[in-house]
A = this chain, B = another copy of it.
Amino acid sequence: ASPIASSVYEPESFSARSLSPTDWSVSDVVRYFTAAGFPEQAAAFRSQEIDGRSLLLMRRNDVLTGLSIKLGPALKIYEHHVKELQKTHNRK
């Protein structure tokens, strides 16, 4: 909930942010992580066919070992993005 985390979490250049993650296509997911500063890792979400509904089901270990991405970015992707998107979504 720090200012940095929330600015990362809602990247200005991500145009699908008005949609609920439930409605994101695989391409929306890829655009989200590209805009969030992880263009290399974003491709892994496409190759694993992860759309918004799958994204909301991911756990820490799925992000760290199921995407075959580097550990450093994976830790931030889970902690500052996937977990935050899930919290926001479940709060509604």
Which chain A residues have a beta carbon within 8 Å of chain B's beta carbons? 26, 47-51, 53-54, 57-58, 62, 64-67, 70-73, 75-76, 79
Q: How many copies does the complex hold?
A: 5
| CB < 8 Å neighbour of A49 from B26, B47, B62, B70 | B70
Is B67 touching A48 in the complex (CB atoms < 8 A)? no
Q: How far is the CA of A48 from the CA of B72 in the complex (A)?
A: 6
Is B57 touching A79 in the complex (CB atoms < 8 A)? yes
| CB < 8 Å neighbour of A76 from B47, B57, B67, B75 | B57
Q: How far is the CA of A58 from the CA of B72 in the complex (A)?
A: 9
Q: How far is the CA of A49 from the CA of B77 in the complex (A)?
A: 13
Q: How far is the CA of A73 from the CA of B58 in the complex (A)?
A: 12
In the complex, chain B residues whose CB is within 8 Å of the CB of A64: 62, 66
Is A76 touching B53 in the complex (CB atoms < 8 A)? yes
